[in-house]
């Protein structure tokens, strides 16, 4: 029974996230956090442009709150909106931007290289952009754009890599976009950081020993 409750809650969270992706793509939607509180359910939405989520005089917030309560059966939902600190380091925001650029008819290579350059200029340790679909002809193909360092497997790839996915609806067909980013604050298990103060202490102890 407990397992079923957890599965049900996780499925509901995925459905809510997909709903926000469709409804709030113009706001630069990144992700959401859902937490149960004594007074209801707190839903925190992270977006590049919070004003689009809030709407004029909070009209959009009220509409989203009603949908969460009626369609997703959330208990007294309360929506809080927070801005994305650096959109160029948020994989979902970057993926949505790429998808919208492809829908406007921009060439996939130009879009891919531009996105990689902006992410790396923002300070990322590494980035991978994958664009799949009918890019130039009738046959579907996959193109990758990469820079920096990236973990592709194991626990670090699951826990330390930020992932985002989006879909572009173009005339030739549907194009899928996947973005993976290793942010600058990520500390890898095999990464060693030597502190300057520790080095100074060691040097002093060596000098005292020589005396």
Give the sign of the dihedral formed by CA 67, CA 73, CA 79, CA 81.
Answer: negative
Two tokens, residue 202: 């060691």
The whole-angstrom separation of Cα 141 and Cα 199 is: 52
Kindly compute the dihedral angle of the four CA atoms of residues 170, 100, 124, 132, in this order, to the nearest 10 degrees.
-10
Q: What's the confidence (pLDDT) of residue 121?
A: 95
pLDDT of 210 higher than 60: no
Whats the size of the chain, residue-wise? 211
Q: What's the confidence (pLDDT) of residue 57?
A: 87
Q: What's the confidence (pLDDT) of residue 109?
A: 94
pLDDT of 204 higher than 70: no
Two tokens, residue 182: 């290793």
Which tens digits make up the pLDDT trace of 151-193? 888 777 788 899 999 999 988 889 999 999 999 887 776 666 6
Which tens digits make up the pLDDT trace of 97-150? 999 999 999 999 999 999 999 999 999 999 999 999 988 877 889 999 999 988
Instruction: Name which of 178, 190, 179, 185 is nearest 160 in CA terms.
Output: 185
Which residues pair with residue 162 across a beta bridge?
181
Give the Å distances, CA to CA, from 168 to 13, 20, 161.
23, 16, 23
Which tens digits make up the pLDDT trace of 47-92? 999 999 998 888 999 999 999 999 998 999 999 999 998 999 999 9
């Amino acid at each position: 029974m407990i397992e079923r409750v957890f599965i049900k809650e996780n499925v509901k969270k995925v459905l809510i996230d997909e709903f926000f992706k469709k409804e709030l793509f113009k706001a630069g939607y990144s992700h959401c956090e859902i937490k149960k509180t004594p007074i209801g359910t707190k839903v925190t939405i992270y977006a590049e442009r919070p004003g689009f989520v809030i709407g004029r005089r909070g009209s959009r917030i009220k509409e989203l709150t009603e949908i969460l309560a009626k369609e997703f059966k959330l208990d007294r939902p309360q929506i809080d909106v927070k801005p994305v600190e650096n959109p160029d380091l948020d994989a979902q925001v970057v993926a949505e931007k790429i998808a919208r650029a492809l829908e406007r008819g921009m060439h996939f290579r130009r879009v891919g290289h531009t996105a990689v350059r902006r992410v790396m200029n923002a300070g990322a340790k590494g980035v991978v952009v994958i664009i799949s679909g009918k890019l130039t002809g009738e046959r579907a193909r996959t193109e990758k754009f990469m820079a920096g360092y990236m973990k592709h497997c194991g626990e670090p790839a699951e826990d330390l890599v930020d992932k985002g996915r989006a879909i572009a609806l173009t005339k030739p067909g549907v194009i899928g976009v996947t973005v993976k980013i290793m942010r600058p604050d990520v500390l890898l298990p095999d990464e060693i950081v030597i502190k300057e103060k520790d080095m100074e202490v060691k040097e002093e102890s060596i000098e005292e020993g020589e005396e």
